[in-house]
Amino acid sequence: MLEVRNLDAFYGAAQALWDVTLDVGAGETVSLIGPNGAGKSTLVMSVGGVHSSVRGRITVGGAEVVGLPAHRVCDHGVAIVPEGRRVFGHMSVHDNLCLGAYRRAARARYRATLDEVFGLFPRLAARSAQLAGSLSGGEQQMLAIGRALMAAPRLLLLDEPSLGLAPVVTDEVFEAIATINQAGVSVLLVEQDIDRALDISSRAYLLAEGRVIAGGPPETLRDNEDVRRDVLGI
Ligand SMILES: Nc1ncnc2c1ncn2[C@@H]1O[C@H](COP(=O)(O)OP(=O)(O)OP(=O)(O)O)[C@@H](O)[C@H]1O
Ligand SMILES: [Mg+2]
């Protein structure tokens, strides 16, 4: 579904990603873990076409997307839930969700997708008319995920969805991610909560200082010295 090949990314003269190669297979959930500043968000933004100062190859479903603006990458079925959620606080829950469905294919099934999102997050259904800015942190994260789903993506990129959430709300969010994946959406998940992330992933990559330094099934990463030292601090 997603193939990233030899990707370099830059902020001006500074390089943030070095020769990154990774895959997310169709129907897979893959985690991207690594310490602060490793380049995880840069990778997500590069795949989504939000960060464009890159060199290398990124294909989605076989189509080259490097150099495309974010809305064109979205047309290839990619949706992002950015770090820090970023819902539109002065708009209602319902209107935030509508915004997610702007691409033509998504607009056609808007009603059905909205029902799915409300099924996944009943709390949003109950607060459909409420201003997004008045939702709790967890509800805002659900809304950010719901808005991404409204685009009817094939590939969902999630950047630290559990950041700042209480454990019980984090559980709900992770259950929702697993359900989304079971419905056939491929997921690339950036997470600090490594145990929870590995639990729902078939594979994971460890990024450090802009480079992929390990990758494989969850067990191998749990046992990996670099993961234990750099990420878990053990
Ligand atoms: N807008 C920017 N301008 C310049 N440098 C940036 C910018 N955004 C990120 N960087 C740098 O790029 C590197 C990777 O940052 P990035 O945000 O991708 O890391 P991250 O793995 O997502 O970290 P975190 O876990 O803290 O979210 C860091 O060294 C960071 O300082
Ligand atoms: Mg980040």
CATH number, position 163: 3.40.50.300
- Lowest average pLDDT, out of 121-135, 167-181, 210-224, goes to 210-224
**CA-42 nearest atom, ligand 1:** 18
- Report the pLDDT value the prediction gives residue 103, as an integer from 0 to 100: 82
Give domain status of residue 14, yes or no. Answer: yes
d(CA 166, CA 195): 16
d(CA 20, CA 55): 10
d(CA 93, CA 142): 10
Predicted TM-score (pTM) of this structure? 0.94
Give the domain extent around 172: 2-84+152-231
| Cβ proximity of 41 and 57 under 8 Å | no
- Give 7-57 pLDDT, tens digit per residue: 999 999 999 999 999 999 999 999 999 989 999 999 999 999 999 999 999
> For 18, which DSSP code?
E
Give domain status of residue 143, yes or no. Answer: no
Q: Kindly report the protein residue whose alpha carbon is nearest to atom 26 of ligand 1.
A: 36
Give domain status of residue 187, yes or no. Answer: yes
Say whether pLDDT at 102 is over 90: no
d(CA 41, CA 29): 17
Q: How many domains does the chain have?
A: 1
| Average pLDDT of span 105-134 | 94
Give domain status of residue 76, yes or no. Answer: yes
Give domain status of residue 59, yes or no. Answer: yes
Give domain status of residue 141, yes or no. Answer: no
Give domain status of residue 212, yes or no. Answer: yes
Please tell me the distance between residue 155's alpha carbon and the centre of ligand 1 in angstroms: 23
- Report the pLDDT value the prediction gives residue 223, as an integer from 0 to 100: 80
Residue among 64, 88, 92, 91 nearest 78 (CA): 64
Give domain status of residue 53, yes or no. Answer: yes
Please tell me the distance between residue 52's alpha carbon and the centre of ligand 2 in angstroms: 16
Say whether pLDDT at 232 is over 80: no
Q: Which residues contact ligand 1 via a Cβ below 6 A?
A: 11, 14, 16, 34, 36-42, 83
